[in-house]
Structure formats: structure tokens, C-alpha cells
Amino acid sequence: MATVTGTKKVVGLTGNSAIAYAMKQVDPDVCAAYPITPSTAIMEEFSGYYADGQVSTELIAVESEHSAMSACIGAAAAGARVMTATSSQGLALMWEMLYVASGLRLPIVMAVVNRALSSPINIHCDHSDSMGARDSGWIQLYSENVQEAYDNLFQAVRIAEDRRVLTPVMVCMDGFITSHAIENLTIMDDAEIKEFIGEHESAYSLLDTENPITVGAMTLPDAYMDIKHQQSKAMAASKDVVVEVAGEFEQRFGRSYGLMEAYMLEDAEVCVVVLSSAAGTTKVAVDELRSQGKKVGLLKPRLYRPFPHEEIMEALRGCKAICVLDRADSMNGFGGPLFTDIRAALYDTPQRPVVINRIFGLGGRDYTVEDAMEVYHELLRIKETGKVETLSAYLGED
């Protein structure tokens, strides 16, 4: 039984407002950002808190997203607690610096409001931006709704700054669908948040003249692979830290998170795997089909990097047919990024299920309960016949 403490109140906020308010409660030392749709309101509202003297943050307005991440890297290397936010083309413009931040093991926290990458130009949601950065060495947490995005941001600070991890974290939420939708949100007391995240204690600092260090030095082949091995081990270790932090968060605030959410999976014969806001839509279809006696379920990964392959394999062990829904296409002629990871995770399952892929919602196209029902009906046919007509396809397209 969770022990819930502190003062809480329910308010109506958009996802962007919730993230900005969470950033105010964290009160990072430095925030460098360059606004971009649909994450613009995060920095607009946070800058309002700054102008009103409600945060002690050093807010840095820069000329591009590349510069924003560069400033974040410099501040974090100097020992500061650092946060920022971006979307889509902004994340793409940071590409070079994402690898620098993770390679230097800097615990930067960044809200990523998912939006399609050009071309053609589109300001609406899909996951091509964060999926393109999935191998950049950043931990990735995905949020189904406003509450989860708000809660994930606090947990991300703890995860990133854990000495076993020291790795930057992206907190992702769907552009417009979550970022601009007003939902009921339970917010916590500032003092409780401060106690949960703790004082920032940097592992090292460029400003510590008693313990001088070199940051960003040239590394030759004899040492580079050792450094990458250390980084890889820290990323793998972060999975356990995610679980530990989620457990403490539940004890303090009463909301439960883990590596993933299994919805009606205990006896499910067919299952959909999907990230973020589409999980909520899919749950409605699950409830409807369950009322008809169909054994269907849903798996919603919360942690995508590092990829919890063993836990996913265990969660899906009893399913006979699975559809992985991707809001991005890897353009590999085989399927989306989540699909290939899920399929690989199930390779060693003793009774390997059929796994198909449907790509949906690109550029903000609607994903409806009817779409989810169509996917489940196809999975039920596959369970009965064992026949797959198309391994990977675009949902609703010929």
C-alpha cells in the first residue's frame, strides 16, 4: 500500500503548461532554449515564471536549437542542473550536440514534444523526431497523457543525476494531442517536489579549480571504446534506476509507473503494443472487445531507451498474435523502429508469437477507436488461421 504524503490539488492544464509548471517547481540552475512549435508554450510560460521572479534559473535565449544544447552542455559540465525543451526540426538541429551531451555523461533533462520531421513541412504529431535520436545515448521516457508527462519530468531529474547513470533524459509527449489538450492534473506541493528530487550535486565541475578536469578532449582508439563501453553499461543500469525512482514516486505521491503498462494482458491472446497518447485510444477498443468476450490486451512501453527487452518478452509471453503500432517509419522496407525492437525481443520466446507492424498517425493523422478495432480484428483472424497477409503496412492505406 502506497504511503501518500504532501499537499496535492487538481487543476486543468495543457501538457505544455504542465511541463512548464514542473520546470518551475524543479527550478533548474540553467535553462537554454530556442522555441519551436509545438513546444513553444513551454518556454513562453517558463520565461513568465522567470520574469516574475518565481525561479532562480539562469534563462538563456539563444539563436538556434544547436546553440541551446551547446549552452546546456557547457552549463552541465560546469556543475549546473540543466533543463530545456524542443520539438522536431529543433531536435534534428541538435543532432551533433545530443551525442556530445550523452558521451560526456551530462544529466540534462529535455522535454521533447513529438512532431513530424520535414519534408514535407508538417507541425503535427508523429515520433520521427525522437525515434531518429533513439540511439544517441539519451534515455527516453514516453508519456500517455498530461499527468504522466508532468510526473515523468520529476522522475527524469532523479534518473539522470543518479551516479549509476549520469545520462541525459528525454521526456516525450505527443504534439498537440497532449501538449495542447487541457486535462485534469494533480500537482504536488513545491516543497514535496524539492524533497523528492533533492539538491543537485554534480559529479564533477569545470569550475572546481581544486580538482581540475578536461572535458571534450580528443580520444584515440585505445581509449574511445573503453569510454563507450562505460556509457553503454550506465545506460543498461538506468533501467533498474527507472524502476527504483518510480517506486519512490509511488510511495510519495500515489501514482504508479514502471518500465511499461500492461493493460488486460493477464490472459490476452492478442495484443497491441503502442507508445504515448494512442495507448489511451487503444484502451477504449480493448474495453469494448473485452465486453464481447474477446481476450485482447495492450502493452504501453514507458521506457524505450534503454529497451527493456527481457521484461517485454515476459509481458507478451502468453500472446499468440501481436501488432506493434509505430508512429514513425524507419524507411528500411521492413517496418517501424518499435516493431523491429519488439520483434527482436521476442526472438527467444519458446512459443514465438506472430508479430506484425502497422504504421499510423504520421503527420498528425487521426488514430481512432475504429482504427484500433480494425487492428484487433485482424489479430484475432491471425490467431485463428495462423496466416499473415502483410507483415508491415500503413494503417488505412492500400
**Please, what is the angle between helix 15-26 and helix 40-51, to 10°?**
40
Query: What's the distance, CA 215 to chain centroid?
Result: 28
| Spatial contact of 115 and 80, defined as CB atoms under 8 Å apart | no
Q: What is the pLDDT of residues 92-113, one digit of tens each?
A: 999 999 999 999 999 999 999 9
Does residue 5 carry a pLDDT above 60? no
Residue 62 has a pLDDT of 97
Residue where the block lists cell 477504449? 284
Q: What is the pLDDT of residues 122-147, one digit of tens each?
A: 999 999 999 999 999 999 999 999 99
Between CA 285 and CA 274 the distance in angstroms is 13
* Among 116, 61, 113, 118, CA closest to 87: 113
Q: What is the band of 8 on the pLDDT scale with cuts at 50, 70, 90?
A: confident
Between CA 61 and CA 79 the distance in angstroms is 20
Between CA 343 and CA 328 the distance in angstroms is 16
Q: What is the pLDDT of residues 63-74, one digit of tens each?
A: 999 999 999 999
| Spatial contact of 306 and 235, defined as CB atoms under 8 Å apart | yes
Q: What is the band of 6 on the pLDDT scale with cuts at 50, 70, 90?
A: low
Q: What is the band of 240 on the pLDDT scale with cuts at 50, 70, 90?
A: very high
Residue 166 has a pLDDT of 98
Does residue 14 carry a pLDDT above 90? yes
Q: List, as own/partner pairs, every contact residues 52-61 make where C-beta atoms lie below 8 angstroms and the sequence separation is at least 24, other chains included.
A: 54/24, 55/23, 55/24, 55/27, 56/27, 56/29, 57/27, 57/28, 57/29, 57/30, 57/31, 58/29, 58/30, 58/31, 59/31, 59/32, 60/30, 60/31, 60/32, 60/33, 61/33, 61/34
What domains lie within the chain, and their CATH numbers? 8-253 (3.40.50.970), 260-394 (3.40.50.920)
Better-scored residue on pLDDT, 325 or 350: 325
Residue 3 has a pLDDT of 52
Q: List, as own/partner pairs, every contact residues 54-60 make where C-beta atoms lie below 8 angstroms and the sequence separation is at least 24, other chains included.
A: 54/24, 55/23, 55/24, 55/27, 56/27, 56/29, 57/27, 57/28, 57/29, 57/30, 57/31, 58/29, 58/30, 58/31, 59/31, 59/32, 60/30, 60/31, 60/32, 60/33
Between CA 152 and CA 306 the distance in angstroms is 16
Residues 84-89: what's their mean pLDDT? 98
Residues 241-247: what's their mean pLDDT? 98
Q: What is the largest CA-CA distance in the chain?
A: 70
Average per-residue pLDDT in the chain?
96
Residue 286 has a pLDDT of 98
Residues 207-236: what's their mean pLDDT? 95
Residue 1 has a pLDDT of 35
* Among 42, 248, 50, 262, CA closest to 151: 248
Between CA 106 and CA 108 the distance in angstroms is 6
Percent of the chain past pLDDT 70, that is, above it, reads 98
Residue 2 has a pLDDT of 43
- Cut 0.85: pTM above it: yes
Percent of the chain past pLDDT 90, that is, above it, reads 97
Q: How many residues does the structure list for the chain?
A: 398
Residue 192 φ/ψ, nearest 5 degrees = -65, -40
